[in-house]
Amino acid sequence: RIQRRSASSSRSLLATYYLEVQIREEPPSTLSGNNLALSVATYNLNAEIINRYQSGNLTEQWQNDPVLNATSIIEFGVQEPQNQTTAYLSMINQLVIERQPGICRERSPCETQPVLIARDSAGHIITKLGSNDQPWQITATIIGSPGVGVVGGIANYSSGQSQFTTFGINATGTYQVQFSIITPRGIDSSFVTNINLTSDSSSITVALPRITAKQDVDIDVISKNEIFNLTTAIVDQKSQVKLDNIAWNTFTWSAAVSLYGSLQHQSNGILIQNLSSTVIINPQSGTITATNLAISEVGAYIIKLDITTSNNQYSIPFTSNCIIVKENSTTLNAITSSPSSNITYQGDYDKFVTAGTLETLHCTIYNYLTVVKKLPLNTNIILAKGSVNVYYEMDTGASANRSQISSGCSELASDPNGINDLVLSNLTCAGTQYTVKSSSISSSSSSSSITASNAGLIAGVVVGVCAALALLAAATYSAYKYKKLPSSKVAGQFNELYEPLERPQLGNAATTNPSNIANSSSQQ
């Protein structure tokens, strides 16, 4: 919308005009690779026009034009490609820090992320800067400290503010940060300095990082003696954001791999390593990979990595997800419908989630069912909330299996306290409901125990009210849990297995030979 001032002998009159310009592509006669190039050109032109107005460049050139200077732009709206609404734009006048960054640790995202807002000449917050597909960006740089940089230092501007999510500083100390607009498409670089679209932070103190390890990719099911690799990443403890470079000091990293030996119910397999087994540490990518591992017997296992630095600054105990080991000839099925076997335990599901021990519980229950009670499961188990529900299927084809199911489930029903911190309240095996023996733990001695009189009521609520939702969640979850492992995680079978001279105690494995531990960024 433009406005023209016309003079008369008595007064000045204002005339308002609406100028609409359409930029569009003609429909192509044939589809080809050139169509994409034409679309990109249209999007770029759209972004450039928006940028020229919001930077003030278009208004300045309009005023300097000998014909157009009798008018002025008083409103500028744009309907962008693939959008049916008109957005009215503002010209930027100021960039200010609305929220200072704070609680920062070296190489990790600050707990308080910076928020910057743009204002027009009237002081109003500008909601949108740039086009939808090419929003303006804000960058952060350290003032007066050469060699010190930022992580996550570029953010889009949208919804009336910057969108920093991983901003941090890569060195300890006290610093000041300057935030500035990155010169947008079609605008001269002097635009940022001429309008002074920068804003300096207050002093930011950066402490030592708090880090932990997180599994890069879960390993759900492998076969007995099948080779696999386990990769972990060093992450910020608070945000769980991966640290891309862990070589920020003179120390080196090392790691030892073994089987986690503290499961309540364990299988009798050992962790096997051959002559090519090693631990590869890639400081640049921040990953630690234990390679060429295998497990000797069926069951459920957790791999343990003890990660340390040479100066003892960091010692990180890491445990993997629950890994199911099956016979080579066995295929574990996916649970795709309402399972015929399920267990309800009274206990606090959220407590296991909060403590980070849900995978430990998964392995414990799986081994309890398959190793202790010898039930012929032909699926993995699925844990679901309410209180703790366990879903699975069993192979009922052979008569020997049916006999084992009958005896194993009878034993299970008579052992309500078989899993620590849980009390069995409901049991269905292959479609048959079993009567559960009353718990021997009194309600006064354990918050998770139940009495015989209220067991039926609680089980009824869990089974009758929550079963439909829980089973739906279980069926959805199973599609993820049983996906085929990629070849990068399971490389093949061992041709030669190297058994230890002395069999280790149950659940323990020989740690990686220190001579095989590599501190190399060239290996993956």
The domains of the chain, with CATH numbers, are 32-65+74-209 (2.60.40.10), 211-328+492-519 (2.60.40.10), 341-481 (no CATH)
pLDDT in tens, the chain (524 residues): 666 655 554 455 567 778 888 887 776 666 665 556 668 888 999 999 999 999 998 988 888 888 888 788 888 999 998 888 999 999 999 999 999 999 999 989 999 999 999 999 999 999 999 999 999 999 999 999 998 999 999 999 999 999 999 999 999 999 999 999 999 998 987 877 777 789 999 999 999 889 999 999 899 999 999 999 999 999 999 888 888 788 877 889 999 999 999 999 999 999 999 999 999 999 999 999 999 999 999 999 999 999 999 998 899 999 999 999 999 999 999 987 889 999 999 999 999 999 999 999 999 999 999 999 999 999 999 999 989 999 999 999 999 999 999 999 999 999 999 999 999 999 999 999 999 998 765 433 333 333 333 333 333 333 333 444 344 444 444 433 433 333 333 333 322 222 232 323 333 333 333 333 333 333 33
Rounded CA-CA distance 235/214 in Å is: 7
- Please say whether the beta carbons of 316 and 323 come within 8 A: no
Sheet of 253-259: strand order equals 253-259, 303-309, 315-319
Q: What would the two tokens of residue 38 be?
A: 């034409």
In single-letter form, the type of residue at position 507 comes to G
Burial class (CB in 10 A: 0-12, 13-18, 19+), 97: middle
Query: Do 197 and 92 touch, CB atoms closer than 8 A?
Result: yes
The two structure tokens encoding residue 260: 């986690």
Cβ atoms within 10 Å, residue 307: 22
Please give the Cα distance from 485 to 181 (Å, whole number). Answer: 45
Between the alpha carbon of residue 457 and those of residues 386, 410, 463, the distances in Å are 14, 22, 10
Q: pTM for the whole thing?
A: 0.67
307 neighbors 211 (Cβ within 8 angstroms): no
Cis peptide preceding 296, ω within 30 of 0? no
Contacts of 480 (CB under 8 A, 6+ apart): none
Tokens in use for 48? 């450039």
Amino acid at 57: N
Do residues 101 and 136 make contact, with C-beta atoms less than 8 angstroms apart? no
